[in-house]
Amino acid sequence: MARDPKTADVVAEMVANVLQVGVQPGDRVAVGDAVVLLESMKMEIPVLVEQAGIVTAVKVGPGDVVQEGDVLVSLHL
């Protein structure tokens, strides 16, 4: 199925625990904004957006464990 070019997903780049979610649906985000804070191997890793947009969905919450490639947040560009 073709992906809508006006949407983007922010994905996990590694296996990690979700420490904090900094956005909710309807929030506007700019390039470089941290949307989720992950923890892996005792390091905190902020997940930054690469495209500006509006948050349409938050797919994780604090305490969740994510795998590489899991969608964390969806955006409308």
Give start and end residues of each alpha helix (H) in 1-77.
Answer: none
pLDDT digits (tens, 9 = 90+) for 2-44: 567 899 999 999 999 999 999 999 999 999 999 999 999 999 9
Domain spans of the chain, in order of start: 7-76
Bridge partners for 7 per DSSP: 76
- Domain 7-76: state its class: mainly beta
Buried b (16+ CB within 10 A) or exposed e, 31-70: eeeebbbbeeeeeebebebeeebebeebbbeeebebeeeb
Amino acid at position 41, single letter: M
Question: Is this prediction's pTM over 0.85?
Answer: yes
